[in-house]
Amino acid sequence: MAYSEKVVDHYENPRNVGSFDKGDDSVGTGMVGAPACGDVMKLQIKVNPATGVIEDARFKTYGCGSAIASSSLVTEWVKGKTLEQAAALKNSEIAEELALPPVKIHCSILAEDAIKAAVQDYKKKHTH
C-alpha cells in the first residue's frame, strides 16, 4: 500500500523513540493494543509537576508504519501542552495530518488511546 510522505518521514525518522522509567513520579505511561491487528503501542509523557505541562515524550510501537508515524507525531505534538490539552487530542487530527487511508484509521485511534492512557496514568500517580 502507498503511504503518504508524512507517514514515510515519521517511519524512517521516528521522533522520540525510547522510554522513561515507569516508576518515575513525573512520568505517565500509556500502553494500548489494537485487537484488530495485534499491534502494541507504548507512549510516555514526562510532566513538570509544578505546571502540569508535558516537557518530553517517548514511544515504542510494535506495529505498522501508520502506527509508528501516529505515535511519533503525537510525541511531537504533546510537548509543551498541558495534560488537558494532550488528553483532548483527537485521532482525526492525527489521521488528517498523516493523510491516513480509511483502513489505517485505527492506527491513529491507537495513538489517541495511548496518550489518553498516559495522561490517566500520570494523574493516578498525583491524586492528592
Please, are residues 59 and 74 in contact by the beta-carbon 8 Å criterion?
yes
Q: Which residues contact 96 (CB under 8 A, 6 or more apart)?
A: none
Q: Cα(28)–Cα(19) distance, rounded to whole angstroms?
A: 11
Q: Cα(70)–Cα(16) distance, rounded to whole angstroms?
A: 12
Active site residue 107: yes
40 binds ligand FES per the rule CB under 6 A: no
- Pick from 8, 17, 31, 34 the residue near ligand FES by CB under 6 A: 34
Active site residue 64: no
Binding mask 87-106 for ligand FES (x = CB under 6 A): -----------------x-x
Listed ranges 6-14, 61-69, 76-84, 119-127: which one lies at the site for ligand FES (CB under 6 A): 61-69
Other C-beta atoms lying within 10 Å of the C-beta of residue 115: 31
Q: Cα(43)–Cα(61) distance, rounded to whole angstroms?
A: 8
- Pick from 63, 77, 95, 100 the residue near ligand FES by CB under 6 A: 63
- Pick from 83, 86, 89, 107 the residue near ligand FES by CB under 6 A: 107
Residue from 117, 124, 55, 46 nearest 87 by CA: 117
Catalytic residues: 37, 107
Interface residues with ligand FES (CB under 6 A)?
34, 37-39, 63-64, 66-67, 104, 106-107, 110
